[in-house]
Every structure is written in C-alpha cells, then in structure tokens.
Structure 1
C-alpha cells in the first residue's frame, strides 16, 4: 500500500492533536481560506486562541503552504467576518433589551449604563480600533458596537485596520520564528491572563464601592 505523502506542516512535525493540530489540518487542506475560517471562529468563540492560530499560519507561510500575503489577507477577512457576526448579535439584542436586563441587575444604576453609552458614543471609534489589538476584548468589542448601531462602513474600516495590525504582528512572528512559533502563544497567553485579572479586580472594586455606598445610604436614613 503506497504511503500518503506528508504535507509541509506534517513534515515539520507539528502537533497532531488539539487546537494547533486542528489549525494545521485546516491550513494544510484549505490554505488561506482555512486560516480565515479558523480566525472567524476564534472571533465567535474567544476560547479559540488567536495566539496559536496566527503564528501557526505564519509558520505555514514560511513552509510554503501559502503565501505571506495570502495569510494576512485571509486571516484579516476572517476577523472581519467574525466581528460582523457579533456586531449583528448586538443589533438584534438591542438597546431597550440591554436597559431591561441592566435594570434587573444588583449593584448597578441606570445612570451607569447611560454614562457607558455616552462614553462609547464619544470614544467608540478608538475602542473598536484599539480593541482589536487587546486579547479577550478583541472579540467582545463588536457587541456594544452593534448595540449602539455604529455605522457599518465605519465599523468595517476600524475592524479591518485593527485586525490587520494584530494579525500581521502574530503572523509575522510565526513566520520569522519558524518551528519556534509556539513561543508567541506563551507571551500573548500571559498578557491575556493579566488582562483578565485586571478586569476581575476592577469588577471587585466596583462592587465594593457600590456596597459601601448602599451601607452609607442606609446609615444616613436610619439616623
């Protein structure tokens, strides 16, 4: 029985299982569109790590599986497609529903959401653009953009530019590092964890301030 020839990524002894193996199979089979599909899914399901998908795509470009231009084009297109899907989730969710849910949450005030909306109206363009380069938030930022009905042409432009920068850094890192592409994931993973910790600390501080404020209000009423 003739042996099946190894693909370039298989010849490079890339992981046969897990997310890296899945991405390697996609890129081996579909080339650039496979990388774009992986990144589109990463936007919709943030647990899929771009810090694995993008450097591995860059490594594949270095192995000749696809061109570097193709890697950047398809991964950026995938980022935009995934972001647009989340944008429309925000549109369908809607501002009125957001206010109803917010009003039922403990420890928050309607004025907090109004201030958040006012902030997004003033700084939304920077948030969407820069958010594409921040782990964790690069996917989530599309939802408030949809809720606030950011004009679609502006959203597409900001998303494409921000995603192109982020994708280029990680794809090029994988391209230059070669079979050490997985080093990128280590550093970006640490950054992601730091961001999550900062968010948790910020939420804990917010809740603490709210509880103290309610306690002081109750004491003033009792007095």
Structure 2
C-alpha cells in the first residue's frame, strides 16, 4: 500500500518527474492525460510549464525544439486515442444499464453540448484539467467528423503546448531565480485551473439544462 501511495505522490510531483524521468516521463504523462480516461488527475498544465522552465534553466538537458515537438506529438496522439476509444466503444457506454453512478441523461447532455460547442470545446478544453482528458472521448462518442476533430486537435494542442512550454522556457532562461518559486507556481496553476473548471462546469451544466 505504501508503494502505491509513493507512486501516486511521484506522478503528481511535476518537479520530480522532470528531474528523474526526463523527456520520456513528460511525454508519457502528457499522452495519458490527453486521451485515457484514467489519466484525468495527472498534472498536465504545470508539467508543461515547468518542463519549459527547467529547459530554460538547463536542468532538463533537452533542446527546446525537441521538447516542443515531443510534447506536441504526445498531446495530439493522446487525443486521437481518446477520440477513437469514444468512437468505437461509445455505444457500449450508451447501452449500459443505469445505476447510482451512471445516468443516461449525462450522455444526452454531453451530446447537446458538443452539438452546440463541439469544435470550440476541443481548443478551450486543452487549458482545462479533467475536461482536457474527456473532451476527445466525448467527441468520438458523438461521432464528430475526423477531419474536424483533427483540425481542432492540432490547433488546440499547438496552442496549449506552445503557450505553456515556451512561456516557461522564456522565464527560466531570462529569470533563473524563478527556480526558488516553483512551488508557488504550482499552487498558482492549481488555483486558476480549479476555479476555471468549476466555473465552466456549472455554467455549461446550467445552459444545457435550460435547453433540455
């Protein structure tokens, strides 16, 4: 049990992941968080930002262009994995019997949401924890066209990776003392993303319920 606890503490610690796992660990976590439903809790935003900071400081021995391309590929491929899983296995979810934890009205609300906001959702969702993981799966579930999904997947992935990694790299390169404030950066990201997710969730829920 203690080993399991230690493992989860490790994967939630972006600073330790970068220092011990390097590029491989970063890419793997980004891939899982962007397309596999059980990866929704992984630290995507501040992992990207801190990887840029560490690269700028020289603590992560990877060329910035390689870092950008590797993370971008992981984000895009991860979302394709989520889309395909939703596309091919979504019917099994729709036919699932209702129970305490599963209600078909949630599927209906999801379809309504993607019918109205689908394309834009895939870009905005990149910057929203949890939603970032499930948006590609739900896009596949509602059978969004692959061409449309691909466009917004690539654009959204590019913006997400570019803004966070390049922003972190710039700060790490120009302001090396930022390493002393890593924990405050993580707290800042957590506060902002938590607020955004909760606000977006309740706003979308209210709008969808008004339409039903």
| TM superposition score normalised by structure 2 | 0.70
Deviations 1:9-37 (CA, angstroms, capped at 9, x unpaired): xxxxxx9x94421232222xxx4x55322
Structure 1 counterpart of 2:186: 185
Q: Once structures 1 and 2 are overlaid, which stretch shifts more, 61-70 or 139-148?
A: 61-70
* Match for residue 49 of structure 2 among 24, 33, 55: 55
Q: Distance in 2 between matches of 1:109 and 1:34?
A: 36
Could you say which residue in structure 2 is the equivalent of 1:126? 120
Relative to 1, partners in 2 of residues 1:74 and 1:181: Cα closer, same or farther, differing over 3 Å? farther
Highest CA radius of gyration, 1 or 2?
1
Matched, 1:167 2:161: yes
Distance 2:126 2:84 in 1: 17
Match of 1:26 in 2: 21
Checking the alignment, whether the CA contact within 8 Å between 1:132 and 1:162 is kept in structure 2 is yes
Q: Root-mean-square deviation (CA), in Å?
A: 3.5
Q: How many residues align?
A: 186
CA distance in 2, matches of 1:158, 1:204: 23
CA change 1:81–1:182 in 2 (3 A) is farther
SS of the equivalent of 2:78 reads: helix
Residue 82 of structure 1: how far off its partner (Å): 1.4
The answer as to whether partners of 1:58 and 1:170 remain within 8 angstroms in 2 is: yes
Alignment of 1:65-214 (within 5 A): 65-95=61-91, 97-101=92-96, 104=98, 113-114=107-108, 116-178=110-172, 179=179, 180-198=181-199
Pair 146,205 (structure 1): closer, same or farther in 2 beyond 3 Å: closer
1:61 and 1:175 in contact (8 A); partners too: yes
User: Is residue 72–residue 168 contact of structure 1 (8 Å, CA) maintained in 2?
Assistant: yes
Give the direction of change, closer, same or farther, for the CA distance of 1:199–1:98 in structure 2 (3 Å limit).
farther
Unpaired runs of 5+ residues, structure 2, are 1-9, 173-178
| Higher fraction of helix | 2
1: CA distance, partners of 2:135 / 2:74: 16
SS of 2:40's equivalent in the other structure is coil
CA contact (8 A) 1:24 1:56 kept: no
* CA gap 1:184/1:20 in 2 versus in 1, 3 angstroms: same
Query: Which sits farther off after the overlay, 148-157 or 159-168?
Result: 148-157
Q: Greater relative contact order (Cα 8 A, min sep 6): structure 1 or 2?
A: 2
Q: How does 1:35-54 map to 2 (within 5 A)?
A: 35-43=26-34, 44=36, 45-54=39-48
Cα displacement (A) at 1:196: 4.5
